[in-house]
Structure 1
Amino acid sequence: MGEQQVTSLDVAGLHVTVAGLGVSGIPAAKVLHARGANVTVVNDGDDARAREQAAELEALGIVVRLGDGATLPESTELIVTTPGWKPDKPLFAAARAAGLEIWGDVELAWRLRGPDAAPWLAVTGTNGKTTTVQMLASILKAAGLRTAAVGNIGVSLLDVVLGDEQYDVLAVELSSYQLHWAPSLRAHSAAVLNIAPDHLDWHGSMEAYAADKGHVYDGNRVACVYNVADKATEDLVREADVEEGCRAIGFTLGTPAPSQLGIVEGILVDRAFVEDRHKNAQELAEVSDVNPPAPHNVANALAAAALARAYGVPPKAVRDGLRAFTPDAHRIAHVADVAGVAYVDDSKATNTHAAEASLAAYESIVWIAGGLAKGAAFDELVAKSAKRLRAAVLIGADRGLIREALARHAPEVPVVDLDRTDTGAMLAAVQEARRLAVAGDTVLLAPACASMDMFANYNQRGDAFAEAVRELGAGA
């Protein structure tokens, strides 16, 4: 289970420009400054919040330029960028012309690891990353390993890598943005859960987006885990430059072939990390051990199990870890049953790929959808899900796109179009859904859209749904 020793990067005296303030830029600037680098922070914005953040850094002796994120400071020897800055920014063009390296916060954390650093088990994909990483951490903990779920999940890798706590192994969520700026990352093992169009405005094309996801496989030593149902993930494995002996490991909701994990008669089984995998399979857990046991979440569990098994975790820990796992709020969360109708909050389904997985988990659905489409089209989603829809209630700025897709591909499905984008529209939507639903149905909030037209974030949207459901229950 060990990993080769690494030597921590020496940045003393280096002139580093940090691109962007915020949740990753500020910690990066502080870490570099504390290690003796000459740090200049550049930021496009110059609002009150930015000035407050700048004052905090300037008090430490860090130079901050507000409202000037395009100009490359003189004497810069390295750029460290926050993940959100797009690759086509003028600052980066100037840096490339000067022959400078551009790192993200993940790359910086990777380079600053000390000797005997914990190996990384990395997870990326369009949907399911956070849940899979949390499942993986739960499994690793059940095996008695010191671990944490870190990265894009909201726990700074810099804080973890440079903190006092010692870890045996880290479960790391990585976004496509982070992977784009992490050229030297080399995980022990990694998984790409799925690939669907997302963030194309940032990456420029679907090909570039997929390629950045695929970087997670570069240099893997033990296992590249891919989704058998998503050929694009297997293609990325085939293209990856891995260490000799690294294996391609698939996960599937069907019966697994050799070198795969899958399902046999309600049991999660391993035909990858067993003796004579052509003849043998190892039982890991039951589908009912996965919370919730929706198909896409079972796929997440299989991916987590594959990474854990690649690290040498015993079968019992997979079962115990999955049983101990509790999903975050707003991820296909059962809110309540009212008059025989289940109400489920999947506000986290902010794109069509996530919504498709959510809709596939139920047989008869009154679907609450809509919000900001972010350029998405809904025809494929509606066509695939039409047979499961009893009715649809639409809210939000871009609900018309979903309404039109329903008219084309599910004309028999009743649609209520709520011409509202105020936060109170959610209560009206739930009330309409109750009117349309019958016992045995599921009222499912799976918006397939972002939330910012009506709510601060998907959490607030899910909370509004849950509150509306509670009002129904109180009056039932």
Structure 2
Amino acid sequence: MTADPLNNEWDGLRVVVAGIGISGFACADALLERGARVIVLDRTDAGSRRERGIVLETLGADIRLGAEHVGGLPGETDLLVVSPGWTEEQPVVAGALAAGVPVWAEAELAWRLRPATGAAPWLTVTGTRGKATTTTMLATMLAADGRRATSTGQAGTSLLESVLHPEPYDVLAVQLSAFQLRWSSSLRPQASVCLNVGPADTGSLADRGKVYQNTEIACVYNTADPATEDLVREAEVIEGARAIGITGGVPAVSMLGLVEDVLCDRAFVPQRSTSAAELGTTEDVRTAGAGVLAAHNLINALAAAALARAHGVSPIAVRDGLRHYYPLPHRLNLLNHAHDVDWIDDSSATDAFAAAAGLASFESVVWIAGGHGTVPADLDAVVQKYAPRLRGVVLLPGDGTAGVREALGRHAPDVPVLDAVVPETGTMPEIEPVMRSAVELAAGLARAGDTVLLSPVLGAPEGEPFSGRGQAFAAAVKDVTG
């Protein structure tokens, strides 16, 4: 008789881990430590994948790297743990589903590996845009209230490592992607939020909605995005859980919102029908590293505050958390103000929904955009809406940039469009000289009072993180503007 993953029996369990990135490595390591027999598969054996494979092989894993190993699920598998990017259409996952083998993401495994007693509650965050900002804001609020807390689940962090930390946390602020939610079923968050659902994300609407499943205290929704409230209505929650709205306007009962420039809580106060708790001001959200008071960051702050208040954090700690929060890089970060021109790095905006949030934050913009991948279907609507704000556009090279140019031609034909100079090397252009050219061209287009905004809409070249463009942009801005 083999061990049973559904009963959290690990010793001798035959587990296949698909993917050997940060998530897959953490899953394999945790399972090996508990006596599971682990096979690790990955499509390639290059770079860090090979290095991680060597470590796991030393610990007793069966490492199979290369395309020849991902044509199907190995026989006698009790559990498949999938890393981000592994879809149902791929043979390994399809084979598990056809054979009735459970398929889990890291979040499900992490939940099941929590300590039997005294485990830290989870406050969970999903949405198309703003997840990382909200979870890190939330962690700062929790810390300001004296809780040992961390934000986890963002790119580059492992949820398992946070759950199994040798010095246990009091509470976790957990970012969950639609992928993580798709392959998770037993999570029971204390409070949860879906921030928004972008046009390109409607196909995973049901997965986003799973963030509310089994919520114990508060399901937080965004009144400006009715889809999020619909998800709350449809969710099966723990009896007694409340629906809590967040709004950029004056809050009704059981909501958090804004009264003039004050963030207010009318949900977690005893006399909420006649009173509210002050949680800070809009100036507290205008954090030093960003210098930008964007509407979507107010919503992020209110969402984080709602989750914190559901956990019992005091209004003063919410305010202090906002005041001490330092924004994540590449998310509307103000790099420089020179010659009355602001230079903003929003290089994390790799879809039209995210780019729209940046364009909405400024009155007159020189927009740096372009890159690789499929042009979003909603790009035309974004260009049409924000064309009156465009002083000019500088396009970065990439296989998707022609689509951006075409959208500009249709909806902003009078806006100057320039192309960053690509060095004639005969190979993939390096981002540093391309971004230097883009910054120089943008500086020539900008006038006093303008904002130069790097908000690419499209992705970086395959294998390169979006942060590479942001770092190159920051270096070029420093060189060009001083």
- TM > 0.5: yes
- 1:255 is aligned to 250
Q: Which residue in 2 is equivalent to 1:119? A: 121
Stretches (4+) displaced over 4 A: 46-52
Cα deviation, 1:77-135, whole Å, max 9, x if unaligned, reads 11122122112222222222322211111111100101210100011111111111110
Aligned residues: 460
Q: Give deviations 1:364-393, integer Å, cap 9, x for gaps.
A: 111111112434131111122122222222
CA distance in 2, matches of 1:304, 1:244: 23
The one-letter code matched in structure 2 to 1:326 is: Y
Match of 1:462 among 465, 470, 475: 470
1:447 equivalent in alignment to 2:459: no
In the aligned structure 2, how far is the partner of 1:224 from the partner of 1:372?
36
CA distance in 2, matches of 1:464, 1:43: 30
Moved more, 25-34 or 7-16: 7-16
CA–CA distance in 1 between the matches of 2:189 and 2:155?
A: 17
1:419 Cα deviation from its structure 2 partner? 6.0
Give unpaired runs (5+ residues) of structure 1. Answer: 1-6, 201-205
Q: 1:473 is matched with which residue?
A: 481
Q: C-alpha distance in 1, partners of 2:472/2:32?
A: 43
Note closer, same or farther for the CA distance 1:134–1:470 as it changes in structure 2 (3 Å cut).
same
1:72 shift after superposition? 2.4
Q: Could you tell me how far 1:144 is from its partner in structure 2?
A: 0.7
Deviation (angstroms), 1:289: 0.3
Contact 1:83 1:181 in 2 (8 A): no
Equivalent residues of 1:44, 1:70 under 8 A apart: no
Q: Given the alignment, which residue of 217, 231, 236 partners 1:236?
A: 231
The answer to whether the 8 Å contact 2:22/2:157 transfers is no
* Maintained 8 Å contact 1:8/1:112: no
Per the TM alignment, residue 46 of structure 1 is displaced from its structure 2 partner at its CA by: 4.3
Query: Cα deviations across residues 149-193 of structure 1 (Å, max 9, x unaligned)?
Result: 111343212112222112211101111111111111111111111
1:370-389 to structure 2, matched below 5 A, reads: 370-377=370-377, 378-389=379-390
Aligned-partner Cα distance in 1 for 2:122–2:230: 22
Structure 1 residues 278 and 411 mapped into 2: Cα distance closer, same or farther (>3 Å)?
farther
Query: Does the 8 Å CA contact 1:8/1:113 hold for their aligned counterparts?
Result: no
Identity of counterpart residues, as a percentage?
50
Kept in 2, the 8 Å contact 1:338–1:472? The answer is: no
1:31–1:422 CA distance, 2 compared to 1 (3 A): closer
Cα-to-partner distance string for 1:405-435 (whole Å, 9 max, x where unaligned): 2222222322223464552122222222222
Counterpart contact for 1:8–1:111, Cα < 8 Å: no
- Kindly report which structure 2 residues correspond to 1:7-406, keeping only aligned pairs within 5 A, or say none: 9-47=8-46, 50-66=49-65, 67-114=68-115, 115-198=117-200, 206-207=202-203, 209-290=204-285, 291=287, 292-377=292-377, 378-397=379-398, 398-406=400-408
Name the SS of the counterpart of 1:354 in structure 2.
Answer: helix
SS in 1 for 2:152: strand
Match of 1:203 in 2: none
The verdict on how the C-alpha distance between 1:439 and 1:156 changes in structure 2, with shifts beyond 3 A counting, is same
SS, match of residue 69 in structure 2? coil
Question: Secondary structure at 1:385's aligned position in 2?
Answer: helix
* Alpha-carbon RMSD: 2.0
Residue identity opposite 2:440 in structure 1: Q
Q: CA deviation at 1:233?
A: 1.3
Q: Could you tell me which runs of 5 or more consecutive residues in structure 2 were left unpaired when the two chains were aligned.
A: 1-5, 423-428
Describe the SS at the equivalent of 2:296.
helix
1:251 counterpart letter in structure 2 = I
3-state SS, counterpart of residue 148 of structure 1: strand
Q: CA deviation at 1:472?
A: 2.4
The AA in structure 2 aligned to 1:448 is V
8 Å contact from structure 1 (residues 296, 358) kept in 2: no
Instruction: Tell me the TM-score normalised to structure 2 length.
Output: 0.91
User: What is the distance in 2 between the residues matched to 1:43 and 1:438?
Assistant: 50
1:3 aligned partner: none
